[in-house]
């Protein structure tokens, strides 16, 4: 398995310049309580690698998984890679890092 850890600055740059698709794998209640602006919700509890593959193919931006602290995003990476979906990056600090740094949330 390949895991590439991204930090907040890298994620922020990717969102700002429109090159990154941030896929939030937290549960719907977590996402609705606050999320990184520009992220899309795709909960790990109902994770379907083929749906993610279709989303990534349609979107065209660099896919990056994110969760609360970087644990579930690695699980999403494992599930995607085991299904043959080429996603290797995740936001290591996740929402807790983003929010803790005082970044804007939606």
Residues 6+ apart with CB under 8 A from 41: 24, 26, 28, 31, 35
Catalytic-residue membership of 67: yes
The active-site residue, picked from 11, 67, 68, 77, is 67
- Rounded CA-CA distance 77/91 in Å is 11
Q: Which residues are catalytic?
A: 67
């Amino acid at each position: 398995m390949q895991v590439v850890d991204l930090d907040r600055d890298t994620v922020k740059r990717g969102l700002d310049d429109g090159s990154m698709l941030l896929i939030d794998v937290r549960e719907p209640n977590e996402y609705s309580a606050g999320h990184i602006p520009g992220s899309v919700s795709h909960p790990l509890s109902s994770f379907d690698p083929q749906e993610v593959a279709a989303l990534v193919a349609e979107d065209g931006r660099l896919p990056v998984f994110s969760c609360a602290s970087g644990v579930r995003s690695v699980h999403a990476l494992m599930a995607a890679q085991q299904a043959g979906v080429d996603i290797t990056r995740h936001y290591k600090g996740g929402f807790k890092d983003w929010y803790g740094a005082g970044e804007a949330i939606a």
